[in-house]
Amino acid sequence: MTRARNTFVPMLLEAGGPLLFPDPTQADARGLVAVGGDLGIDRLRLGYANGIFPWFDDEDPPLWWSPDPRCILPLDDLHVPRSLVRRMAKRDYEISWNEAFVDVMRCCAEKRSDGTWITEQMIEAYTALHELGHAHSIEVWMGDRLVGGLYGVQIGGLFAAESKFHRETDMSKIAFVHAVRDLREAGTTLFDV
């Protein structure tokens, strides 16, 4: 997709207002498409179906983005470094799907030196998506300790990975590799990171 770099002014959305977004190819130079609205399930699903996602801080209204270019991974040709293959061969961890969705989001949301964009409002909205089967988490466990994971949104053949975390070396990478492999086997065709 080629985006015309213009003086596009992002659309202002009303909370609870009509479910619409502008054409994402008309986003501003940074990829901003719209400002405002809400994080309702229908708006989130419409956004993701059109390549648009929310990303904002607590102090901001919802900001809706569609950057160009995007990082879309080919699922059939994932290169896994030898060192990670060796680490994975130890199998001293267990993988699960959707057993600790909120915990994974909260781990991803932990404050870092540069802050976090995963607000309480985001956790509530994505948990609602998860409860309807549109958002998923993959967890990496060592015993009963959650040591890594990622979460994202699934719309049709698209999985949009939102964030990942680790508490032990390489565990977010291991979650990522298992996610790509499992999603490919399940028929996912696009993996947006």
DSSP state of 49: H
Q: Show the tokens assigned to 94.
A: 């267990």
| DSSP 8-class letter at 75 | G
**pLDDT at residue 115, as a whole number:** 66
Geometric angle at alpha carbon 174, from 65 and 185, rounded to 5°: 75
pLDDT at 8: 72
Domains and CATH numbers, the chain: 11-65 (3.30.70.3550), 72-192 (3.40.630.70)
DSSP characters over 115-152 = --S--HHHHHHHHHHHHTTSEEEEEEEETTEEEEEEEE
CA distance 55 to 47: 12
pLDDT digits (tens, 9 = 90+) for 140-164: 999 999 999 999 999 999 999 999 9
Residue 169, burial from CB neighbour count under 10 angstroms (0-12, 13-18, 19+):
exposed
Residue 165's Cα: distance from chain center in Å?
12
pLDDT tens-digit profile of 45-83?
Answer: 999 999 999 999 888 999 999 999 989 988 888 999 999
